[in-house]
Homo-oligomer: A and B are copies of this chain.
């Protein structure tokens, strides 16, 4: 049939893309606000750990293992010496002592990594190094310290039991054993074990790739001059990028975008290709220039809400673009952004990375002075934790309540969590806290 007359097939049914949707968000509390824990758990429920990939073991430290690892070999692989000394038959030195040493001819030498030159005959000894294979015929090692270190003959001054100073094949690990399980966080000891069983690559979850964007026409890049008296330096993108880095993420700081909806949409769309998570600050509140809130619904499914916490009340979340990339949209005040990171972003990053514990442990610390709070919201106060001489921890507030007070935030080493029902903490009472520094 001539080509031109061929009846054209009906056009393929255009699959209408499903309108993007988020799972049903949790109900607000009686005050119309969502609780911090509800919001965090909602975000966690909307994301999954990143898919595993194969990685060199040296680049896997700190990552989460995604497979059970079975050892193909035993450790030790072969009976070997735990000491530098002489391989013997225990029976030949059973009567050795300082008073009546036993003298044996030295019939060879076994360095680590090489086979013994020959079998050990009864009544002789073979020099052996730590880690070297026990020669056939030997069943014990006499360490140098119990000998005269002789080269052709050796005087042995202590008896030795069968198996003494011999590391037995498989006494550490038996071939076929699962040595590490999926989900394990790979510390240096585990990397050493993987190498020891000959494994050079493992399946791990990658470091999440995080794109950080701050919005606001008032922002200027640090290091650059200001144009007018009303501008401020962009601190959020630097702070959040650093915090994400310290949480193990691979970070792309895009920096500042002015309050221009088209520009913002373009920047975010361009970044989707390299993002496992996008973070924005600013533009989520009630203001007329809150463009994040305006624009983001065009890019995917979003949830803008008010959380019963202070600072950090206005919060946005979405799954955007083709890959439903998660985006967390935080308020623009620096302290609000930091608290939002700790409350929401850090747990999400840890889930993406496959870490077992998403949440910082909450510790109880004695208040060093009275602390007032506002009931009805979870207050995140910035605190400086000290250890008393007795090793007890006490905390004092750093800076004031304002969500713009970066000086106090930088001085703080803890966030205090003062719950909805509390408006006063007396000196000496315990408060909940998240310790922000490894050493605090």
Question: Interface of A with B (CB < 8 Å)?
Answer: 57-58, 61-62, 75-78, 82, 84, 109, 111-115, 127, 129-133, 144, 167, 171-173, 179-180, 185, 187-201, 216-223, 228-243, 245-246, 253, 259, 285-289, 332-334, 338, 341, 356-357, 361, 399, 402, 404-410, 412, 436-439
Closest to A193 in B: B410
Contact A57 B113 (CB under 8 A): no
In the complex, A235→B200 CA distance in Å? 10
Q: How far is the CB of A291 from chain B (nearest CB, A)?
A: 11
State how many copies of this chain the complex holds.
2
Contact B407 A239 (CB under 8 A): no
In the complex, A192→B191 CA distance in Å? 34
Q: How far is the CB of A61 from chain B (nearest CB, A)?
A: 4
| Most interface-central of A57, A82, A189, A237 (chain B CB within 10 A) | A189
In the complex, A171→B400 CA distance in Å? 10
The prevalent SS among residues of A at the interface is loop
Contact A230 B199 (CB under 8 A): no
Task: Specify which of B199, B239, B289, B439 is in contact with A222 (CB 8 Å cutoff).
Answer: B199
Given the interface pairs A114-B230, A253-B58, the reply to whether A287 lies near B192 with Cβ below 8 Å is: no
Task: Specify which of B82, B111, B113, B246 is in contact with A188 (CB 8 Å cutoff).
Answer: B246
Contact A187 B407 (CB under 8 A): no
Q: How far is the CB of A371 from chain B (nearest CB, A)?
A: 20
Given the interface pairs A133-B229, A233-B198, the reply to whether A172 lies near B113 with Cβ below 8 Å is: no
Task: Specify which of B114, B132, B407, B439 is in contact with A75 (CB 8 Å cutoff).
Answer: B407
Contact residues in B for A332 (Cβ distance below 8 Å): 130-131
Contact residues in B for A231 (Cβ distance below 8 Å): 77, 113
Contact A242 B192 (CB under 8 A): yes
Closest to A411 in B: B189
Contact A239 B188 (CB under 8 A): yes
Contact A112 B217 (CB under 8 A): yes
Contact A111 B412 (CB under 8 A): no
Q: How far is the CB of A109 from chain B (nearest CB, A)?
A: 8
Given the interface pairs A192-B334, A235-B195, A238-B192, the reply to whether A288 lies near B172 with Cβ below 8 Å is: no
